[in-house]
Chain A
Amino acid sequence: NAGVTQTPKFRVLKTGQSMTLLCAQDMNHEYMYWYRQDPGMGLRLIHYSVGEGTTAKGEVPDGYNVSRLKKQNFLLGLESAAPSQTSVYFCASRATAYRSGANVLTFGAGSRLTVL
């Protein structure tokens, strides 16, 4: 089925290790987002991208980097993982304002990251 695919689904890291989460969408959406979800906090925006080659900071960008080298992929990197980054990470995408369904986010199934 078309949609947003995140890999990996689960990962355990030690403090200081690095890793990359991959998000891939096949809907030709221009906008892509990375959120983190923590209990009682809702979803908080980490970084987002409005198109290939562009990225921007969201509400909680510190400790994360992103890249959007291809339109369909949005990578989230942790250079030096910390226990505070233990969370569930969600990728989402949507079309631009002038396309049908532009305001609606399509979410991936999530990536659960534990940092020890």
Chain B
Amino acid sequence: AQSVTQLDSHVSVSEGTPVLLRCNYSSSYSPSLFWYVQHPNKGLQLLLKYTSAATLVKGINGFEAEFKKSETSFHLTKPSAHMSDAAEYFCVVRGGGADGLTFGKGTHLIIQP
């Protein structure tokens, strides 16, 4: 079984400042981890994924995430926030089986001008 916890339901940052969205996971398997983004009234889009290769994963739009097995974390970061980054972000862990995808409850990222 696996689970994922997004530690903040809302994060507010000023445009141009760094972004940190936190995610902790648990998994009985060697996990695959993902971050998805959902803009208002849209479907979910893949930002990046970790599948046991490099622990620092680069994604689209300047986002990256670091897999830390010792801390069971997969935090999402971006050096400089842009207004277009305002969205809902979901951390997802995949364990075993066809249905083995577990979503976090989401973090709402607010960008202040």
* Residues on A facing B (Cβ under 8 Å): 4, 31, 33, 35, 40-45, 48, 50, 56, 58, 90, 92, 103-105, 107-110
CB-defined interface of B28-68 with A at 8 Å, one 1/0 digit per residue?
Answer: 00001010100001111110010100000000000000000
Closest chain-B Cβ to A98's Cβ sits at a distance in Å of 13
Q: A42-B103, A42-B105, A48-B99 are in contact. Are A107 and B90 (CB under 8 A)?
A: no
Give the interface size class of chain B. Answer: 20 to 34
> Are B99's CB and A103's CB within 8 A?
no
A to B CB contacts below 8 Å, 6 in the list: A56-B98, A92-B44, A103-B34, A103-B94, A104-B34, A107-B44
Chain B residues with CB below 8 A from A43, complex form:
44, 90, 103
Chain A residues with CB below 8 A from B99, complex form:
33, 45, 48, 56, 58
User: What's the Cα separation between A43 and B93 when bound, in Å?
Assistant: 12
Q: Which of B83-113 contact A (CB under 8 A)?
A: 90, 94, 98-99, 101, 103-106
User: What's the Cα separation between A79 and B28 when bound, in Å?
Assistant: 37
Chain A residues with CB below 8 A from B32, complex form:
103
Closest chain-A Cβ to B90's Cβ sits at a distance in Å of 6
| B9, B32, B99, B105 interface centre (most CB from chain A within 10 Å) | B99
Chain A residues with CB below 8 A from B106, complex form:
40, 42
User: What's the Cα separation between A50 and B34 when bound, in Å?
Assistant: 21
Closest chain-A Cβ to B76's Cβ sits at a distance in Å of 15
Chain B residues with CB below 8 A from A58, complex form:
99
> Are B98's CB and A48's CB within 8 A?
yes
